[in-house]
Structure 1
Amino acid sequence: MIQMIYMGIFMQKFLEKFKRKPLLFLLPSASVLLLLFLLFFHSQQDADQAFSKYTSELFRQEISGNTITLHYTLKNPEKYGIENAPISYGQCTTDPELVRSSVDAERTRLRSYNRTSLSKDNRLTYDVLNDYLNSAYDLSPYTLYDEPLAPLTGTQSQLPVILSEYRFYEISDIENYLQLLTKTPEYFRSILNFEHTKSESGLFMASYTADSIIKECRDFVHLKESNYLYSSFVERLDELASTKNSGLTEKQRKAYTRQNSAYIKKYIFPSYEQLISGLSELRNSGKNNNGLCYLPNGRTYYEYLVRSETGSSRSIAELQNLTNAQILSDLTVMQRVLTDDSSSGSSSVTSDIFSSQGTLLSESDPEKILSTLSNKITKDFPPYPQIHTQIKYVQKSMEEYLSPAFYMIPAIDNTSENVIYINKGHITDNLSLFTTFAHEGYPGHLYQNVYYASLHPNPIRCVLNYGGYTEGWATYSEMMSYYFSTLTKEQATIFQRNSSVILGLYALADMGIHYDGWKLADAAAFFHTYGITDDATIEDIYDLIIADPANYLKYYIGYLEFLELKKDAVDKWKDNFTQMRFHKAVLDVGPASFDVIRAYLF
């Protein structure tokens, strides 16, 4: 305040010296305006500091309760004020009221801050966090409707991969990892306790879903010494030993390797056997083998789930209309291309559709494909930091139980090291490989994560899960990649639109099964109308949708919402629209609901 007063006096003397009478007349009001501005500036500064302190505390709280989350989020937690965090997987909560009151308390804390007093960046963080907490609050009464175990995406599938990629930056990481293995039985008991509570509430999974998970667990245990948790541990030790000043001796490496082997046998395999036994006991306790709408308040739960998973605020009916319109558009474009091709007399596009997709693209080397994609995006996507990417492959014996590909999100303070896993069991041709690397790599997950991290966002943003944004962006990237390939424009159009149609059909099936009450026969009739007649394939799709509601919608509805945003951008920005401007705008906002993104774009 003293500095502000002296600044006003100095200005007054300066003006008097030069005899500028009109300015002297205005000076009192100018001083008041300056004083008000500086008071506002300091008030905003205080508000921003308080809000940043709050989000930092929330960030530390959220990631400290789970060793996996902490280690995967931060390479150097001590720089964020986190030290001596307990070693734990966390626990499955079975009390909806506890979840609801916890979320509501956090909303109250957030709303104690005056949003209008915050900077633009902090207002964005406020809006995203508020949106996230509102969604969590809506879902909280349905805590027991959630499912930690599901084919492809459940804990039993993902935990081994997560453990195998647990990086050893220093010796203490090895010791924390080994200690974490000892906590696995306790964690799996909490999952089984959750499943027992679901069963008592009439919410246990379908019997055939339980059978699928039991088989997966048995196959995992039967791997024995060939399990990748053995080999990956040795590889991570070797990687640490090769770094400068690691301090890891040969004697320690051998001792840690023996300890890891003993712990896998003592803690990991018995945990999976415990899961097998528990699920076998509960197998026939489920009351519903069909969609969520057959459960009490199931349709309402599905509405909230879809909103949370996709980030879209549209009603189910609106999403169905949007999906049907896109499918019609895709089929119309495909028909036009095929008609034009037939009229030309060449029929090259038509013949390519019925040939192996592997013959369409000659390149099969992952490194070269990634390099090609990274070069292709420079024109229409903002620049990103230089990084290193490692390609790994899913162990053959586990190919059946894992996704076709997945990107391991790096720590926010170590984004230069990235890993993409490829599942050869699900990717059988070069075109699929190319588009998969676009989805997982450039300009998909890897690019989006690395670019966003380079903006140094508020750390709390990095722990909020917006699957509709992340998977929608990756699907949008995958669709664009057909036109980055060596395919002709006509070929690219046919294959891209066909891929979009298939995803759209899965999305309609998801909504039909869980909201409209389709049973297997209804789903089969639906797919038959689109020429998909293999009943075994349809049953597999049906089972996956039953086990993991709204999972397909993250990809497809997220993708459609990006297309809708682009249409709005073209309409509003007119001649100022460019691909680069649009991509930078949505990437700069970062993972959020599409209502929030739209508010900050337009």
Structure 2
Amino acid sequence: MSDGQKRLDIELFFEEAFNERIGYFPQKLALFGRSERQDELDDYSDAGEAGYANLTRRHLQALQTFAYDELSLAQRMNHDLFRRDCEEILERFEHRFQRYALDQKFGLHAEFPAFMINMHRLEDERDAANYLARLRAFAEASDQVAQSVSVRRDHGVVLPRFLLEQIIEDCNRVITDLHQPERSMLADDFRRKVTAASGVPESARDELLDECHRALHEYVAPGYRRLAEFVQTLLAEAPDEGGAGSLPDGESYYRACLRWETSTDLDPDRIYRLGLSEVARIQDEIRELISRVGFEGDLQAFFDFTREDRSFYYPQTTQGRQAYLDDLHQVIDRVQQRLPDLFHVLPLDPLQVRAVEPHREQTAGMAFYHGPASDGSRPGTFYINLYDLEQLPTFTMEALAFHEAVPGHHMQFAIANRLTTLPTFRRYANYNAYVEGWGLYAELVTHEIGLYADDYGEYGRLTQELKRACRLVVDTGLHARGWTREQGIDYLYANLPASRPQCVTEVDRYLVMPGQATTYTLGLLEILKLREQACAVLGDRFDQRGFHDAVLGFGPLPLDVLAEQIEDWIQRQV
């Protein structure tokens, strides 16, 4: 067999393995714009999770049949990354009973309506029938989730009481919505899609709408009701506090989470101390800004001023929410005009901005991003949560847009979406320290080219960077140092200009995502270190646009592999 044939074989293996991976999850297929298994939901059972682990083991065994020494350098890198991904999937599986199967942010109850509304394409009668099949499948899926939660309870893992209560509230909110068949969000979504679909005859629409109402009444509402009732039974035995340290073998689990999330071997104590140092540094920068704007008072007084002064907040009205969206669009339009100053390669996929859907407003994050479909059928989407405009002061708008949209996550994922020379598994990998580090870097580099409108926009950027530094402290505090929920909330409130409800939402997020909150600052610091190395070596030949293209042009990478690739890129510029 020739070297070319061997390379072709391993490339074919990567593509087939990726297709098997996403094919295991019907909802992920929809995320990629694929139409296979469009009448199914994911398997949420423990057996389903075990089946995916077995698939991963088969892939790992198959990978070992390729002679590593006979591969090209590029193929070896792909080989190493695929092996690393498989090993992490299997390690996560071994820790599965320490991971909550359902929480206030993630899980079927929160994600199902958004998935149907945003991901299920409906262009003809078959798509409509598949939509209805997915509605009917919800009842079984919700029972699978309840069973998975029950198994974890048997292993001593139960979500804290205050988070279970949030899940019950979310389920009841959806149930109330479903009892309004003419106005419920899913009925409305189906009606709009069926009406707009050219492949659905007008004569079939009334019957399809009747089937939709029946499915919502007979399958979706009962599924939510049973899930809420089951979660209610957990309240009596639920702990008052959370954190990985309270779980069985929690210390090793948290260290594993940090390794998965950050792609580093940093221990909790070092991350905690780094956080304290970064908090102090950024607060000193804010003190300099306070002096610059002529405010008379200390840091805490300025925090109180920006919390309380109504000029920094949009009114809690329909008009206020629309005004926020309109101004957000203007910020994005402004930065898009400056992208050629930062990149040679620009994204091809369009970007849309959407408000978070009402059913998940109260527990969803303030802002987040979903990447474009691989076939270009769906744009990248920047979600903004307009539920409580008290948590969206005007001075944070620019930093949020730069992080989630451009030049942040949309730039990142839209570029990766078109890296067709890479194996598909690499284009859609999700290494959190790389992803979130770039988002935070995007907030900084836009400051460096003067994109913030005024000192208060710069203050917003600094508060966002400060929040990410506080996360190093609070995440390790909650999961490795025995902090209570209230200790975490108090630390954030004392060190940030955030409202107390926002601090509560932040801490509750950290509790169910051990280690994730540390990725932002750690990723940013690595990218800055690599940029400093490039500047030191290249001097006047350093091209910032070329550096940015290089960071994004390899696709998502673990931080250690990113460092290797950028160091190689630097040498090629010499």
TM-score category (smaller protein): 0.7 to 0.9
Distance verdict in 2 for CA 1:158–1:574, change over 3 Å: farther
Report Cα offsets for 1:59-93 as digits up to 9, x if no partner: 12112222211122134x6xxxxx66873422332
Asked if residue 57 in structure 1 is aligned to residue 16 in structure 2, the reply is yes
Distance verdict in 2 for CA 1:235–1:487, change over 3 Å: same
Asked if residue 72 in structure 1 is aligned to residue 36 in structure 2, the reply is no
Distance verdict in 2 for CA 1:564–1:172, change over 3 Å: farther
Q: Secondary structure at the match of 2:372?
A: coil
Equivalent residue in structure 1 for 2:186, among 229, 251, 262: 229
Match of 2:473 in 1: 508
Deviation at 1:318, TM superposition (A): 3.1
Q: d(CA) in 1 for partners of 2:81 and 2:123?
A: 32
Distance verdict in 2 for CA 1:597–1:210, change over 3 Å: same
Deviation at 1:228, TM superposition (A): 1.5
Corresponding residue pairs, total: 546
Match of 1:403 in 2: 365
Runs of at least 5 residues in structure 2 that lack an aligned partner in the other structure: 297-301, 315-322, 568-574
Q: d(CA) in 1 for partners of 2:306 and 2:500?
A: 22
Distance verdict in 2 for CA 1:115–1:189, change over 3 Å: same
Q: d(CA) in 2 for partners of 1:45 and 1:382?
A: 32
Asked if residue 178 in structure 1 is aligned to residue 144 in structure 2, the reply is no
Equivalent residue in structure 2 for 1:454, among 415, 418, 425: 418
Q: d(CA) in 2 for partners of 1:249 and 1:362?
A: 39
Q: d(CA) in 2 for partners of 1:366 and 1:337?
A: 24
Q: d(CA) in 1 for partners of 2:544 and 2:197?
A: 42
State the AA in 2 paired with 1:249. P
Bigger mean CA deviation after superposition, 361-370 or 590-599: 361-370
Match of 2:299 in 1: none
Alignment of 1:428-577 (within 5 A): 428-456=392-420, 457-481=422-446, 485-488=451-454, 490-520=455-485, 522-523=487-488, 526-527=491-492, 530=495, 539-577=504-542
Alignment of 1:155-174 (within 5 A): 155-165=108-118, 166-174=120-128
Asked if residue 43 in structure 1 is aligned to residue 2 in structure 2, the reply is yes
Report Cα offsets for 1:126-177 as digits up to 9, x if no partner: 2322222232233332111122322233332222111111222544332222
Bigger mean CA deviation after superposition, 394-403 or 580-589: 394-403
Deviation at 1:104, TM superposition (A): 4.2
Distance verdict in 2 for CA 1:417–1:186, change over 3 Å: same
Runs of at least 5 residues in structure 1 that lack an aligned partner in the other structure: 1-41, 78-82, 242-246, 345-349
Q: Secondary structure at the match of 1:234?
A: helix
Distance verdict in 2 for CA 1:454–1:535, change over 3 Å: closer
Report Cα offsets for 1:391-415 as digits up to 9, x if no partner: 3323446421322233332321126
Q: d(CA) in 1 for partners of 2:417 and 2:27?
A: 20
Match of 1:594 in 2: 559
Q: d(CA) in 2 for partners of 1:505 and 1:343?
A: 24
Equivalent residue in structure 1 for 2:164, among 186, 202, 210: 210
Q: Secondary structure at the match of 2:95?
A: helix
Kept in 2, the 8 Å contact 1:363–1:430? The answer is no
Deviation at 1:584, TM superposition (A): 0.9
Q: TM-score under structure 2 normalisation?
A: 0.85
Equivalent residue in structure 2 for 1:370, among 318, 322, 332: 332
Equivalent residue in structure 1 for 2:267, among 309, 312, 315: 315
**Alpha carbon RMSD of aligned pairs, Å?**
3.4
Bigger mean CA deviation after superposition, 214-223 or 132-141: 132-141
Asked if residue 382 in structure 1 is aligned to residue 344 in structure 2, the reply is yes
Kept in 2, the 8 Å contact 1:64–1:85? The answer is no
Match of 2:570 in 1: none
Bigger mean CA deviation after superposition, 206-215 or 288-297: 288-297
Distance verdict in 2 for CA 1:575–1:538, change over 3 Å: same
Distance verdict in 2 for CA 1:328–1:432, change over 3 Å: closer
Q: d(CA) in 1 for partners of 2:154 and 2:100?
A: 15
Equivalent residue in structure 2 for 1:357, among 312, 316, 322: 312
Kept in 2, the 8 Å contact 1:439–1:477? The answer is yes
Distance verdict in 2 for CA 1:557–1:214, change over 3 Å: farther
Asked if residue 145 in structure 1 is aligned to residue 110 in structure 2, the reply is no
Kept in 1, the 8 Å contact 2:269–2:476? The answer is no
Q: d(CA) in 2 for partners of 1:529 and 1:426?
A: 21
Alignment of 1:106-125 (within 5 A): 106-125=59-78
Kept in 2, the 8 Å contact 1:95–1:143? The answer is no
Deviation at 1:340, TM superposition (A): 5.4
Distance verdict in 2 for CA 1:194–1:288, change over 3 Å: farther
Match of 1:281 in 2: 233
Percent identity at matched positions? 19
Deviation at 1:323, TM superposition (A): 2.6
Q: TM-score under structure 1 normalisation?
A: 0.81
Match of 2:144 in 1: 190
Distance verdict in 2 for CA 1:179–1:572, change over 3 Å: farther
Distance verdict in 2 for CA 1:443–1:256, change over 3 Å: farther
Distance verdict in 2 for CA 1:100–1:152, change over 3 Å: closer
Distance verdict in 2 for CA 1:223–1:528, change over 3 Å: closer
Distance verdict in 2 for CA 1:99–1:221, change over 3 Å: same
Kept in 2, the 8 Å contact 1:288–1:295? The answer is no
State the AA in 2 paired with 1:178. L
Kept in 2, the 8 Å contact 1:408–1:420? The answer is yes
State the AA in 2 paired with 1:131. R
Distance verdict in 2 for CA 1:392–1:504, change over 3 Å: same
State the AA in 1 paired with 2:155. S
Q: Secondary structure at the match of 2:375?
A: coil
Q: d(CA) in 2 for partners of 1:129 and 1:170?
A: 38
Match of 2:174 in 1: 220
Distance verdict in 2 for CA 1:237–1:122, change over 3 Å: farther
Deviation at 1:288, TM superposition (A): 7.0
Q: Secondary structure at the match of 2:189?
A: helix
Deviation at 1:387, TM superposition (A): 3.9
Q: d(CA) in 2 for partners of 1:424 and 1:96?
A: 35
Kept in 1, the 8 Å contact 2:63–2:79? The answer is yes
Deviation at 1:193, TM superposition (A): 0.9
Equivalent residue in structure 1 for 2:202, among 250, 260, 276: 250
Deviation at 1:194, TM superposition (A): 0.8
Distance verdict in 2 for CA 1:329–1:481, change over 3 Å: same
Task: Give the greater-gyration-radius structure (CA).
Answer: 1
Q: d(CA) in 1 for partners of 2:104 and 2:202?
A: 40
Kept in 1, the 8 Å contact 2:22–2:28? The answer is yes
State the AA in 2 paired with 1:601. I
Alignment of 1:76-115 (within 5 A): 87-93=40-46, 103-115=56-68
Q: Secondary structure at the match of 2:83?
A: helix
Deviation at 1:58, TM superposition (A): 0.9
Alignment of 1:259-298 (within 5 A): 259-286=211-238, 289-298=241-250
State the AA in 2 paired with 1:314. L
Deviation at 1:486, TM superposition (A): 4.7
